[in-house]
Amino acid sequence: MVLDLVAVPGRVLHVGTDLETTKAAWTQHRDLQLPWHYFAKETGSLDVEIGDLLVQRCPTTWAELGEVVPDLVERLRPAGAGGDHPADDLSWEEAVEAARRLADHHGLPLRLLTEFEWEHLARGTGDRAYPWGEEFDPTCCNLAEAGVGRTEPVGSRPAGASEHGLLDLAGNVDEWTSSTYAPLPGAHWTVPEVETWSADPHVTRGGSYLHHRDLARSRRRHALYRPWTGGGLRLAADAPRTA
């Protein structure tokens, strides 16, 4: 099975927002009754060098995973989830091992995205609030607001495409990154140094079919919180340098 990889140029990504902008985002989602520190993690400032990437257009599917770790697919894939559904409920260690095996299988240096590579893909050069644009649209992503209640085949919502044509960045499955959570430099004093309540210290992005619209935001920093202990993955490789 050939992986569908999209070339995405890199840039210097400015990460973080000022306090007023972050408070506005929190207020916009007040109906969800989320604690302030969920949003406060976006405060601070950091410039991150993002290299040119080759990125999976959609999250890794059960069929793609089955080529390299069939025993894992047999154990984790829920009844009714076809091969074209995104793989889900992998621990971080399982996701890293899956990436390694897929890299060997395809002869490519595939790996998990970093947290800020993911954000770069979602925001695009236009700094989009959501991968598809500035306003939340429940038809663009398989989140709780869509009412599906399960994963759906990858790429089912083309209206949710990012600037570079990536699909399912928001919703369907929460995507593991290789990054361990840490506050941004200059973060608000309420931002926790360590999220002791998370199921794993590594950052996830995008949210799943069970999560709400706040996780669709391109800047939303989060992790897997119990009862969720596993997620999906979208692989990337550093793009070859051209002379």
Q: Where are the domains of the chain?
A: 5-238
Q: How far apart are CA 220 and CA 137, in angstroms?
A: 16
What's the rounded Cα separation, in Å, for the pair 133 and 36?
24
- Do the beta carbons of residue 11 and residue 50 sit within 8 Å? yes
- At 150, the amino acid letter reads R
Domain 5-238, second-level architecture: Alpha-Beta Complex (3.90)
pLDDT at site 118: 98
Which residue(s) pair with 13 in the sheet? 48
What's the mean pLDDT when you consider all of the chain?
96
The C-alpha atoms of residue 234 and residue 212 are separated, in whole angstroms, by: 20
CA pseudo-torsion sign 85, 116, 94, 198: negative
What is the reported pLDDT for 188?
97
Q: What is the pLDDT of residue 242?
A: 52
* Average pLDDT of span 168-174: 98
Predicted TM-score (pTM) of this structure: 0.96
- Tokens for 27? 């207020």
The 10s digit of each residue's pLDDT in 82-133 is 999 999 999 999 999 999 999 999 999 999 999 999 999 999 999 999 999 9
Query: What's the pLDDT tens digit per position in 11-54?
Result: 999 999 999 999 999 999 999 999 999 999 999 999 999 999 99
Is a pLDDT exceeding 90 seen at residue 206?
Answer: yes
Nearest one of 18, 8, 17 to 50, comparing CA atoms: 8
> Phi-psi region for residue 104, left (φ > 0), alpha (ψ -120 to 50) or beta?
alpha
Q: Who contacts 65 (Cβ-Cβ below 8 Å, separation ≥6)?
A: 72, 73, 87, 98, 102
Share of the chain above pLDDT 90, in %: 95
For residue 228, the model assigns a pLDDT of 84
The pLDDT-based confidence of 243 (bands split at 50, 70, 90) is very low
Tell me what pLDDT residue 217 has: 98
Is it the case that residue 227 has pLDDT exceeding 90? no
